[in-house]
Structure 1
Amino acid sequence: MSRLSTNQLSLAYGSRQIVQELNLHVPDGLITALVGANGSGKSTILKAMARILTPMQGGVYLDGKIIHRQPTKEVARHLAILPQNPSSPEGLTVRELVSFGRYPHQKGFGNLNAEDNRMIEWALQATGMSAFSMRPVDQLSGGQRQRAWIAMALAQGTEVLLLDEPTTFLDMAHQMEVMTLLEKLNKEQKRTIIMVVHDLNHAARYAQHLVALKDGTILYEGNPEVVMTPQMLRDVFNIDADVIPDPRTGAPLCLPYGLAEEETAPSTTASAETITTYSEDRIQAMA
């Protein structure tokens, strides 16, 4: 089942077409990661899904309705987006930032009501930002800032979250902090999350559904154990890599060792049978 989907979606910047006749169905209640090389159309697709970019052809559908024909506030009650490198006015506190998430639910420019305040407090608590609520956003660490912006998205009370490279420019600890939070939101609240991810191992570890794109076209799609293969890495990223099961999680782990060439010797990568065996073990462990 899919509340959010695209049908024959084509996108362009000026005369340059980026995405061509894309048909994508986002699984409900899962984390979906869009992966691909730079310029593959990942962020462009996310912008169209968030109603930021208007299609040149086809459409994005939310609950069976074309999203670009729906009122902005109506869409914002069901779908929230965290863009790349968001910025806030100097001196704005975390709580003030999070309160902006309640705008779609307000009439005119009314004050925050009891429900608004309840959602703000819940979002702060869910993201571990309650202790920082009165601190200026520009005085936070990278990971804390990302959590503050995620809290704002949560305060919207939407069932769907779109995130464009949520770990960009963060160090390893802050990357894990953000990804662990998203995993928690998905598992505990069944949020549908669609995110653009550069780190393939993050995508395979935290997402249950991968969409591998090249030149605005889906080349591979499915669960990480099926999608993350040496052949996919050659076709999509032009790299040679071993794919082995992560010793801790069982998720496929990408170990690149060179740029792909036209003809290469037989690979010594883990076999499909090995990946399948580990995938079954992983599924049983999660059951």
Structure 2
Amino acid sequence: MVRLITAQLNIAYDDRLIVQNLNIAIPNGKITALVGSNGSGKSTILKTMARIMSPAAGQVMLDGKSIHKQSTKEVAKQLAILPQNPTAPDGLTVSELVSYGRFPYQKGFGSLTKEDRSVVQWAIEATGMSEFADRPVDQLSGGQRQRAWIAMALAQETDILFLDEPTTFLDMAHQLEVLQLLQKLNDENKRTVVMVVHDLNHASRYAHHMIAINKGTVMGEGTPQEVMTPQIFRDVFNIEADIVYDPRTGVPLCLPHALIESHAPTESVVQKREAAVV
């Protein structure tokens, strides 16, 4: 089942076209990872699908309706987004941050209802943040902060959750903490998760569906087994890589070993570097 699609989507910055004629479908109830090199357009696509950016042409369709023709509050009841490196005001507690997720359901400047407070409490518990509920967000570790922001997104009670590189600047333990939380939310609550992922192996381990993007164009789409191929590594990342299989899960993993020749440093560049060191 598919609820969210792009139809002949064009995205531009000023007069520069970044994405042209994009047609993708996001599987409902699955985790989808957008992967690609820096500047490939994956975050731009995510922002447009989440209605942060407006397309130059084409549409993003949710349940057959263009999300860019719906009101902000109506869209916010259907999808939530966690951008890169979100920041909270100094002193804001986890509970206060999570309560912001109830904004789409409030009228005017109304206070939280009993139902709102119940949802906020559930979101805090679901993300394992109960013991930090009264702690200021700026006093949390990186992984804890990410969980707090995910709790805020959950409090919106949307079926679709967008995340733009949710593990950026986190150490390995906190990366796994966040990815395992997203996996749990998908398994237990059937949330559709769409995330931009920098690490190919994280994408393969945790996503059911992968979309590989290069210069705004889809170069591969499907299961990790279908997308994690030597040819896509060459076309999208300009690397030569072997594929190994995770002994625990059997998913394919990328083991890079060389740059494509045209992207490797030339001999003269290497000589200059050696001369500089000497």
- Tell me if TM exceeds 0.5: yes
The equivalent residue for 2:47 is 47
- 2:205 maps to what in 1? 205
Q: Residue 285 of structure 1 corresponds to which residue in structure 2? A: none
The reply to whether residue 111 of structure 1 matches residue 123 of structure 2 is: no
Deviation at 1:15, TM superposition (A): 1.4
Aligned partners of 2:49 and 2:119: how far apart in 1? 24
- SS of 2:247 mapped into structure 1: coil
- State the match for 2:272 in structure 1: none
* 1:242 match: 242
**In the aligned structure 2, how far is the partner of 1:2 from the partner of 1:48?**
18
| Rounded Cα–Cα distance in structure 1 between residues aligned with 2:226 and 2:59 | 28
State the TM-score, normalizing by the size of structure 1: 0.90
The answer on 1:139 being equivalent to 2:128 is no
User: C-alpha deviations, 1:113-133, integer Å up to 9, x for none?
Assistant: 111011100000000001100
- CA shift, 1:180, in A, is 0.3
Counterpart amino acid of residue 120 in structure 2: I
**AA aligned opposite 2:100:** F
TM-score (norm 2): 0.93
C-alpha separation between the residues in 1 aligned to 2:2 and 2:19? 21
Q: Write the distance in 2 (CA, Å) between the matches of 1:105 and 1:49.
A: 22
**CA displacement, residues 79-111 of structure 1 (integer Å, 9 cap, x when unaligned):** 000000000100000000000000001111111
| CA distance, structure 1, for counterparts of residue 192 and residue 256 of structure 2 | 30
Distance 1:258 1:225 in 2: 21
What is the 5 A alignment of 1:81-230? 81-230=81-230
Partner Cα separation in structure 1 for residue 244 and residue 173 of structure 2: 23
Amino acid at match of 1:180: Q
CA distance in 2, matches of 1:241, 1:261: 13
- Residues in 2 aligned to 1:15 and 1:202: alpha-carbon distance in whole angstroms: 35
Which moves more between the two structures, 248-257 or 159-168?
A: 248-257
Q: Secondary structure at the match of 1:39?
A: coil
Residue 23 of structure 1 pairs with residue 17 of structure 2: no
Gaps of 5+ in 2: 263-278
Instruction: Note the alpha carbon deviations across 1:231-262, whole angstroms, 9 max, x for none.
Output: 11011100000011111111101100010237
Take 2:227 and 2:212, find their aligned partners in 1: how far apart are those partners? 8
User: What is the number of equivalent residue pairs in this alignment?
Assistant: 262
Hey, what does 2:71 align to over in structure 1? 71
- The corresponding residue for 1:273 is none
**Which residue is 1:281 aligned to?**
none
Residue aligned with 1:111, SS: coil
The residue type paired with residue 45 of structure 2 is I
Q: Quick one: distance in 2 between partners of 1:172 and 1:249?
A: 19
CA distance in 1, matches of 2:41, 2:7: 16
**1-structure distance, mates of 2:84, 2:256:** 26
State how far apart, in whole Å, the 1-side matches of 2:98 and 2:49 are: 22
CA distance in 1, matches of 2:138, 2:35: 30
Secondary structure of the structure 2 residue equivalent to 1:241: strand
User: Percent identity of the aligned residues?
Assistant: 68
Instruction: Determine the C-alpha separation between the residues in 2 that align with 1:155 and 1:2.
Output: 23
Match of 1:272 in 2: none
Where 2:187 maps in the other structure, the secondary structure is helix
Residue matched to 2:61 = 61
Amino acid at match of 2:49: M
Shift of 1:50: 1.2
User: Does residue 257 of structure 2 align to residue 252 of structure 1?
Assistant: no
Other-structure match for 1:280: none
